[in-house]
Amino acid sequence: MNHKPVRDALQAHFDLDARRVEFISRFIIALLKVRSVNLAQIATALNGFAKLESNARRVKRFLNVDFAQDLIARFVLSFITDAKIVLTMDRTNWQFGVVHINFLVIGIAHNGIALPVAWVNLEKAGNSNAAERKTILERVLKVIPASRIQGFAADREFIGSAWFETLLENAVNPVIRIKKDTVLRQRTRSAPAWVWFNNLKQGEIKELGKAKVMGIRVFVIGTLTEDGEYLLLVTIKRPSRALMIYAQRWNIETLFAALKTRGFNLEETRMVHKDRSERLFALLVIALVWAVRVGEFVSSLTRIALKKNGSPPRSVFRVGLDTLRQILLSGCAGRLVLDDVIPLLSSS
């Protein structure tokens, strides 16, 4: 498979040495073919004219050299045409031996999947702290102005007064779920959140108005999930939109599935070094974005029968991944060939 069209398309995005862009193009093609980040498998598909040992060494050399995340963030952002976006944050983690690999990721919610714009390997088990979240948020704000962010959706894990203050100081609107026993204070009354919403009926939405949560004045919105659990959100702007924004948090769960068992099998990496693992993640993002773009293109050409619940049988990512793999492995996917999907790596 000729990697040069992929190389030329990527060169327009990345102001890097031509040899590094050539390696990226070869890596992306190999990754799509083998559907695994295991470097031994990548080496088998990287360059058929080189020995496996040479391919493996080339991968390791690339991952030893700095590869700025803001390049990837700008690459992702070049495909986002919406004036306003929703950011979502979560962790994905697994264990290799006694080492914890624990990625904290911020992504843009887009067509059912989050497209990563910042990530960090926390190098520990468990939740992130406010300082770690602040660092990763600052990376995002270098390339995305706060005025473009409609909301920042996150689950109950991502609460705390210091973290809320960071979001507000940067003019980023939190839409974050709180635990039902989180104490709310309104005027002179303080009580666990569930007490304020204990009369909710299924499908009912209640806006509490401004209350103090961990010392920060926010709007609080509550409803019940289909399982009868409290869904309680805090936000600072237009509480009527909070549930719509928070619903897009699920996009990051789809992302993690795509990076792992439903896509590139990220858990198969044996790479535990912080910087190298983060550079490997960057390469996955490029492949993921291409797959999503191809999936959107294919979906626009074909009317797809929906499942009974109204959802498509495959995500746009999986449609794109399957199409790309078929083209790379067989030369075509139906009537589509490589020349048809190369332009989708360009934002022009």
Q: What is the DSSP string of 217-241?
A: EEEEEEEE-TTS-EEEEEESS-GGG
Residue 310 scores a pLDDT above 70: no
| 174/338 Cα distance (integer angstroms) | 41
Instruction: Let me know if residue 268 belongs to a domain.
Output: no
Which residues fall within 8 angstroms of residue 308, CB to CB, at 6 or more apart? Answer: none
> pLDDT tens digit string along 113-169?
999 999 999 988 899 999 999 999 999 999 999 999 999 999 999 999 999 999 999
Report how far apart, in Å, the C-alpha atoms of 56 and of each of 26, 46, 61 are.
Answer: 13, 9, 9
For residue 73, give both structure tokens: 């963030």
Last residue of a domain, which of 218, 252, 286? Answer: 252
Beta-carbon contacts of 67 under 8 Å, excluding residues fewer than 6 positions away, are 279, 282
Q: How far apart are CA 245 and CA 86, in angstroms?
A: 7
Specify the amino acid at residue 242. A
> What's the domain range around 165?
71-252
Token code pair at residue 217: 């004045």
- Residue 277 covered by a domain: yes
Q: Indicate the range of 93-107, 290-304, 328-342 predicted with least confidence.
A: 93-107
Could you give the number of structural domains in the chain? 2
Tell me, yes or no, whether 139 lies in a domain. yes
Mean per-residue pLDDT, 11-15: 90
Last residue of a domain, one of 252, 287, 320: 252
Q: What percent of the chain has pLDDT over 70?
A: 95
pLDDT in tens, 50-106: 788 888 888 888 888 888 889 999 999 999 999 999 999 999 988 766 567 899 999
pLDDT at position 132: 96
CA distance 341 to 290: 9
Query: Are the C-beta atoms of residues 263 and 283 closer than 8 Å to each other?
Result: no
Claim to verify: residue 61 and residue 82 sit in the same structural domain? no
Q: Same structural domain for residues 80 and 54?
A: no
pTM as predicted: 0.93
In a domain, 265, yes or no: no
Highest mean pLDDT pick, 2-6, 24-28, 67-71: 24-28
Separation between Cα atoms, residue 304 and residue 298, nearest integer Å:
10
* Mean pLDDT confidence for 226-247: 92
Indicate whether 257 belongs to any domain. Answer: no
> In this structure, is residue 266 part of a structural domain?
no
Bigger pLDDT: 348 vs 283: 283
* Whether residue 346 has pLDDT greater than 60: yes
Residue 262 lies in a domain: no
Here the tokens at position 120 are 């960090």
- Asked whether the beta carbons of 18 and 11 are under 8 A apart, the reply is yes
Which strands make up the sheet holding 216-224, listed edge to edge? 113-121, 99-110, 85-96, 149-154, 174-178, 230-235, 216-224, 206-213, 183-186, 189-192
Q: Is the pLDDT score of 348 beyond 60?
A: no
Among 54, 49, 47, smallest CA distance to 25 is for: 47
User: What is the structure's pLDDT at 51?
Assistant: 83
The distance of Cα 220 from the centroid of its chain, to the nearest Å, equals 26
In a domain, 235, yes or no: yes
Residue with the bigger pLDDT between 48 and 66: it is: 66
- Same domain as 305, residue 180: no
Same domain (yes/no): 85, 230: yes
Is the same domain home to 174 and 290? no
**Tokens of residue 324, six digits:** 């790309």
The amino acid present at 87, given as its one-letter code, is L
Could you tell me if 97 and 214 lie in one domain?
Answer: yes
Whether the pLDDT of residue 41 is over 80: the answer is yes
60, 148: one domain: no
Average pLDDT over residues 271-293: 92
Question: 39 and 121 share a domain?
Answer: no
Q: Which of the residue ranges 32-41, 264-273, 275-284 would you say has the lowest mean pLDDT?
A: 264-273
In total, the chain counts a number of residues equal to: 348
pLDDT at 79: 96
Q: How many CB atoms lie within 10 A of CB 155?
A: 17
Enumerate residues 6+ apart whose C-beta is below 8 A from 96.
269, 270, 272
Regarding whether 128 and 90 lie in a shared domain, the answer is yes
Res. 308: pLDDT tops 70: no
- CA 225 to CA 208: how far, in whole Å? 18
Query: Which CATH number belongs to the domain containing residue 192 in this structure?
Result: 3.90.350.10
Q: For residues 216 and 80, state if they share a domain.
A: yes
pLDDT recorded at residue 3: 83
Residues 81 and 230 in one domain: yes
* Claim to verify: residue 62 and residue 76 sit in the same structural domain: no
**Above pLDDT 90, what percent of the chain?**
70
pLDDT band at 307, cuts 50/70/90?
low
Instruction: Summarize the confidence of residues 278-302 as an average pLDDT.
Output: 94
C-beta neighbour count of 51 within 10 angstroms: 10
